[in-house]
Structure 1
Amino acid sequence: MKIVFFDSGVGGLTVLQEACRRLPAESYVYYADTLNVPYGVHSKEEVYGFVTACIDDILRNHEVKAIVIACNTATSAAVDDLRSRYSFPIIGMEPAVKPALESVRESGRRVLVTATPLTLKEHKFQTLLGRLESPGQVDTLGLPGLVAFAERGMLDGPEVIAYLREQFAPFELERYGAIVLGCTHFVFFRDAIRQVVPRHIVLTDGNAGTVNQLIRLLDPKRAERSGSAEPAGDAADIVFMSSKGTEDERRRLADSFEAWRRQAADA
């Protein structure tokens, strides 16, 4: 049986890499809805339809142990309904606001949450803020351009840096202690973001927390034992799929994953 990682494009590969590192003996499917990427510019209703159609496609082809919705936008739009429809575990993503707030507790600095526009305006995110936020301490910034860059394989360079400088320009970044990478695509841009923000700013993402939750649901005893990192490893079995269904797309996803796996290993 397979653990499925689903995203609109290549962003969820960053979460898959963390799962392969922690659970190298598992078998995986990575499914990208490249027909409809980026999700962040669509309505919630449209994204819900995209996600459910893709999940149906996956289930026609594979026996599933668990599904990780490795996309904050898709999680906001569809995860509650998917959990009501299926008995296997379904793990979603949410912006890592809690660890970001914890990181600035002593300094009193602000937190900037970056995500897609749809994630930021959804009720799920607003509820998260209401539960966690110290009054007036969190600001938000939509960065849909980073999704487009990632899908084109542009993870650095003058165009990316110029976009980031323009988007961050309205913020007095010295006042911030943490930036939340609230879209899995954004994790690819850690190095680029580091070039344009003050050194003291902590960058947080939800990848490790999501994989921790996957392990807790699949094997609670293992979760108690492992707490942190396990021996590094590569997944022996990963099937790459996309809604386009072409060999070129499958190869692009596989190549992107291998490049990211090497980069993460060198970090």
Structure 2
Amino acid sequence: MRILAFDSGIGGLGIVRCLRQDIPGACIDYLADTAVFPYGEQADDFLVARIVTLVGQAIARLRPDLVVIACNTASTLALGELRARHDVPFVGCVPPIKWAADLTQSRTIGLLATRATLTRSYLHDLRNRFAPDCTLVTYGARNLADLSELAFRGQQIPDQAISAEMAGLFSQPGGDAIDVVGLGCTHYTFLLDHFRRLGRPGLNWIDPAQAVSRQAARLAHRIGNITAKQQETGQAFFTALPEDIGAVLPGLRRMGYETARPFAERA
């Protein structure tokens, strides 16, 4: 079983970590579009064209049995086009509104996300479809994606930096009633321990990485060849290698990758 996971940066590696547990023995290639990270600063039309091109090139080279789009922005913008172009099955990632609505007792759920995510119409569609009886309190975090990158590299994150972003959510109208918080960006998985430690007691924090991985595992079982162990664990590709590659490598190795490789884009 060969899987391709795609994200704009290192955030999707949290999903890879879950995939290695849920589909042991799979070869999981990872492609990070770091050349234009963060996606939230790019125009939608540009991103759709770029994502479709990059993922298409990766599919042609790596021949995966399954593709995981481990990025909220990429999933909502380009997943439909990718499915229309390729026969390989896809799994996407969206903010965990449905999961949060299933768990909340107060009927007030929180969502920490990037500012770009909160401007897109699909978020309102998710809320109307899965949580029409809930109050959705949102906050577009300014620094959490960058802090997540630092956490992945093993750097110390000041508590006050995390607390300030959390306060941005809980200070919103209705924030006091939140009992479930969904993470609306895959990067935030690397800050989950900080959220749980610094958040008020009784809060339920939802990381969509587990749900995405479980869905991928279900599809993998349908495809078959799930028990066949691959001789390789996969490769990690970057459209632009991080300048501090030495700080990134320990985290990559924890995810099962020996090194970072450049992904040569075709014109």
Task: Please indicate the TM-score interval, normalised by the length of the shorter structure.
Answer: 0.7 to 0.9
State the Cα deviation string for residues 9-60 of structure 1 (Å, max 9, x = none): 0100000000001111111111111111111232222221331232134134
Q: Does 1:241 align with 2:237?
A: yes
Ranges of 4+ aligned residues in structure 1 off by more than 4 Å: 233-236, 245-249, 251-254
Distance 1:164 1:29, change over 3 A: same
Indicate if the aligned counterparts of 1:155 and 1:189 stay in contact, CA closer than 8 A: no
Specify the alignment match of 2:264 in structure 1: none
Indicate if the aligned counterparts of 2:137 and 2:175 stay in contact, CA closer than 8 A: no
Q: Does 1:98 align with 2:93?
A: no
State the Cα deviation string for residues 58-106 of structure 1 (Å, max 9, x = none): 13431121110001111111111101010001110011111211111xx
Code of the aligned partner of 1:164: E
Specify the alignment match of 2:204 in structure 1: 202
Alpha-carbon distance in structure 2 between the residues aligned to 1:221 and 1:234? 16
Structure 1, unaligned runs of 5 or more = 223-232, 262-267
Specify the alignment match of 1:48 in structure 2: 48
* Cα RMSD after superposing both structures: 2.9
Specify the alignment match of 1:114 in structure 2: 112
Code of the aligned partner of 1:242: F
Indicate if the aligned counterparts of 1:68 and 1:92 stay in contact, CA closer than 8 A: yes
Indicate if the aligned counterparts of 2:68 and 2:92 stay in contact, CA closer than 8 A: yes
Indicate if the aligned counterparts of 1:30 and 1:241 stay in contact, CA closer than 8 A: yes
Code of the aligned partner of 1:203: W
Alpha-carbon distance in structure 2 between the residues aligned to 1:221 and 1:35? 33
Equivalenced residues, count: 250
- Partner of residue 178 from structure 1, selected from 165, 180, 186: 180
Alpha-carbon distance in structure 1 between the residues aligned to 2:109 and 2:236? 35
Specify the alignment match of 2:220 in structure 1: 218
Alpha-carbon distance in structure 2 between the residues aligned to 1:127 and 1:235? 42
Alpha-carbon distance in structure 2 between the residues aligned to 1:118 and 1:237? 33
- Partner of residue 125 from structure 1, selected from 98, 123, 126: 123
Code of the aligned partner of 2:222: P
Superposed displacement of residue 161, structure 1: 2.6
| Mapping for residues 13-32 of structure 1, pairs under 5 Å | 13-32=13-32
Alpha-carbon distance in structure 1 between the residues aligned to 2:205 and 2:94? 15
Distance 1:113 1:216, change over 3 A: same
Specify the alignment match of 2:165 in structure 1: 164
Specify the alignment match of 1:255 in structure 2: 250
Code of the aligned partner of 1:194: R
Superposed displacement of residue 144, structure 1: 4.0
Specify the alignment match of 1:67 in structure 2: 67
Code of the aligned partner of 1:241: F
Superposed displacement of residue 236, structure 1: 4.8
Alpha-carbon distance in structure 2 between the residues aligned to 1:73 and 1:123? 12
Indicate if the aligned counterparts of 2:26 and 2:230 stay in contact, CA closer than 8 A: no
Code of the aligned partner of 1:146: L
Alpha-carbon distance in structure 2 between the residues aligned to 1:55 and 1:41? 20
Alpha-carbon distance in structure 2 between the residues aligned to 1:245 and 1:70? 19
Code of the aligned partner of 2:56: D
Indicate if the aligned counterparts of 1:12 and 1:71 stay in contact, CA closer than 8 A: yes
Distance 1:78 1:241, change over 3 A: same
Code of the aligned partner of 1:220: R
Indicate if the aligned counterparts of 1:42 and 1:118 stay in contact, CA closer than 8 A: no
Structure 2, unaligned runs of 5 or more = 257-267
Superposed displacement of residue 173, structure 1: 4.2
Indicate if the aligned counterparts of 1:75 and 1:92 stay in contact, CA closer than 8 A: yes
Superposed displacement of residue 150, structure 1: 2.1
Superposed displacement of residue 158, structure 1: 3.9
Specify the alignment match of 1:6 in structure 2: 6
Indicate if the aligned counterparts of 1:43 and 1:118 stay in contact, CA closer than 8 A: no
Q: Does 1:149 align with 2:150?
A: no
